[in-house]
Structure 1
Amino acid sequence: MTTAVRTELHPMTPGELTKIVLNKEELFILDVREQSQFDDWKIEGESIEMINIPYFDLLDGVDPALDKIPNGKKVLVVCAKEGSSVYIGEQIAEKGRSNVHYLTGGMKGWSEHLEPVKVGNLQSGGELYQFVRIGKGCLSYMIISNGEAAVVDTLRMADEFEQFANQHQVKIKHTIDTHLHADHISGGRPLAEKTGATYWLPSKDAGEVTFAYEPLVDSKPIEVGNVSIMPVYSPGHTIGSTSLIVDDQYLLSGDILFIESIGRPDLAGLAEDWVGDLRETLYQRYKGLAEDLTVLPAHFGKITELGNGGLVAGKLGDLYRNNPGLNIHNETEFRKVVTENLPPQPNAYQEIRQTNMGKIQPSEDERQEMEIGPNRCAVHDK
């Protein structure tokens, strides 16, 4: 008597999916969200194949999907929150397909996963880490030195930064926002309140905030352990945008300069006013900095910008040679490109700005919903 082989559906966490993406492993994704959601924002990876068949088109059976899923490949079913992918994934597994998985937490879980990546050692002693929010395109940083830490452009998941600091046995002394964010909710102030750290924000971006903060001032250094963090006023994305030079090695550029693109100046409705500031920052202020500084932005636009281990970084000199946004030498053409070539504005960006000013207090579910969708802080992302 033979026993039928029972295939099972397996969970895949956002962390496990991140490793697959970073290691460029092959994966076939069946995304069962509505086409409009899929078209707006999806999982990316250099070795990922993907199709979109909405959940409601599979309620009468998964045969339309089976015809398109290659045999022998690892399959991941994805939906918004998890439930639909479990239902469809179980049916695919019951049809005899092996190696079928569902994404735990769905796209909401994917949006919130943080992957810590070591950037390097600091010459004054200590380490610098980048936190890659791979599903959203956001990047945060932790500077560690002599038992202390500073967190830059902290994401909403403040607990994860606190846990990381505890694992490294350091006390968070500073949290710093390079500007008032419009595409994601800052965790800088909540983390500072929880840990007793000082929260820093550029004063020109803080005109409407409802809370106390320490003003981030050009050329006034912030010390963490043995390391000096030097603010560099660099307006353009916002009027207060301030970059940070860490230990004379790294340029944390906020949303002013990315690896393959430049920041957009319109998220406060002032593109025509701020485009001149953006050009001056990119074509004059940054030009005066050392070419061997490693640029570490607050976002990435494309999965191809992720290097070894997921690190998003580039030498300033290389960016001046290769980044299209740094090679528009005619000022009129620059203004045209920056003001006319803008992608759609981030989801709920006005509400996010209001939240980051302390003017509204959304629930945790509302905060999650506000942040759903791709990063749209750059001009040249295509």
Structure 2
Amino acid sequence: MAVKAMKASEVARRVVEKKDLFILDVRNEDAYADWKIESDSFQYMNVPYFELLDGVEEIMEDIPKDKELLVVCAKEGSSQMVAEMLADEGMEVSYLEGGMKTWSEHLEPVKVGDLPNGELYQFVRLGKGCLSYMAVSNGEAAIIDATRMTDVFINFAKAKGVEIKHVFDTHLHADHISGGREIAEKTGAVYWLPPKDAEEVVFEYAPLTDGEQVRIGDTAIDINALYSPGHTIGSTSFVIDNRFLLSGDILFIDSIGRPDLAGKADDWVGDLRETLYSRYRELSENLIVLPAHFMIMEEVNDDGSVQEKLGTLFDKNHGLNIEDENKFRALVTENLPPQPNSHQEIRQTNMGKITPDIDKKQEMEIGPNRCAVKA
């Protein structure tokens, strides 16, 4: 049987469409336990590659014959070799092209709404839980919270025939490397960053302050900056076209943002509560919340998007319904998951203080999203 290479985009479609897939993950047990391809419709088996060096005969009975089979490893080589062993045993099998490093980098664009003479797109990074956005109108575009895979955004804008005019980061990211500044440099766009998060950056930027309005195209698309500290001291939300709330890492669909990635959880927990329980309560409950991350696959809708009405989150999101302030403080400071891999190095990179090469950037970002408080 011939072995096939399956692209990350093909796996992503199976995730979104909830199709069956059996994954044999041949990474070490600790790597698999920390982070894997997530889908409620997939089945999994983890057998480290070194246990299969003498052959795959012992696992053949545990692999279903009626499901599509994909072998996964970190970089590709090990999974390809195991896939070839399985093919020699008569199995129809694929391996993940580029391994988990490629899965971590794949972006799936999804249209989330119409704008006056334009559209709003969400770029879903399924392997990392990151969400980026592009607002398009009358030949112009703005990008919010871009990842380091800058060509995806630039090529998407070219395909749409629009010019990237503005690039924003809602805050100084600590879990992934921002591509915002690089996109601005490549396209001549203005790069915006909240000044309270930019005290240590070593590059020029446009200060994003509360009440800032940036016009995209000739239509009335205003991107209104809403100061919303808590995840970081400078965290800023956006209300686009009075319909969409881009909440950054302050509010997610099933959880709320963690305030500790700069080492100041006790200092910022009050800001986080003020944003969620006061500032956001003053907004229309009909706003569609579009966060910068998702934590679990249950937050991904059937169309592949991550979005929900603010009013629904006020009802269902546990982090928005803790009346006792002391209990809220305990939740936010005592119930935190492990910090993101290399988060200090990622912050230094996003400040412009260090410039790691591509291999180092991939290594720094490996692992799951960990921006949320565990509710």
TM-score interval w.r.t. the shorter chain?
Answer: over 0.9
Counterpart of 2:201?
209
Within 5 A, what are the aligned runs for 1:104-119?
104-119=97-112
> What are the Cα deviations for residues 27-52 of structure 1, in whole angstroms up to 9, with x where unaligned?
10000000000000001111100010
Aligned counterpart for 2:114 among listed residues 110, 113, 121: 121
Counterpart of 1:360?
354
Q: TM-score, normalised by structure 1?
A: 0.97
**1:67 counterpart SS class:** helix
Amino acid at match of 1:370: M
Counterpart of 2:47?
53
CA deviation after TM superposition for structure 1 residue 71, in Å: 1.1
Q: Does 1:317 align with 2:341?
A: no
Amino acid at match of 1:63: E
CA deviation after TM superposition for structure 1 residue 125, in Å: 2.6
Amino acid at match of 2:294: F
* Alpha-carbon distance in 1 for matches of 2:367, 2:161: 34
Kept after mapping to 2: 8 A contact 1:325/1:380: no
* Alpha-carbon distance in 1 for matches of 2:319, 2:63: 40
> What are the Cα deviations for residues 196-248 of structure 1, in whole angstroms up to 9, with x where unaligned?
00000000000000000000010121111121100000000000000000010
The number of aligned residues is 373
Counterpart of 2:282?
288
* Alpha-carbon distance in 1 for matches of 2:43, 2:263: 38
**1:237 counterpart SS class:** coil
Q: TM-score, normalised by structure 2?
A: 0.99
* Alpha-carbon distance in 1 for matches of 2:59, 2:118: 51
Counterpart of 2:222?
228
Counterpart of 1:78?
72
CA deviation after TM superposition for structure 1 residue 380, in Å: 2.1
Q: Does 1:164 align with 2:156?
A: yes
* Alpha-carbon distance in 1 for matches of 2:340, 2:214: 31
Q: Where do 4+ consecutive residues of structure 1 move more than 6 Å?
A: none
Q: Does 1:268 align with 2:262?
A: yes
Amino acid at match of 1:108: K
Aligned counterpart for 2:62 among listed residues 43, 53, 68: 68
Amino acid at match of 1:280: E
Counterpart of 1:10?
4
Q: Does 1:147 align with 2:139?
A: yes
* Alpha-carbon distance in 2 for matches of 1:91, 1:220: 59
Amino acid at match of 1:112: E
Amino acid at match of 1:258: F
Kept after mapping to 2: 8 A contact 1:13/1:103: yes
CA deviation after TM superposition for structure 1 residue 363, in Å: 0.5
CA deviation after TM superposition for structure 1 residue 105, in Å: 0.4
Identity %: 62
CA deviation after TM superposition for structure 1 residue 347, in Å: 0.3
Q: Does 1:199 align with 2:188?
A: no
Aligned counterpart for 1:103 among listed residues 96, 101, 105: 96
Amino acid at match of 1:281: T
Counterpart of 1:32?
26
Structure 2 unmatched runs, 5+: none
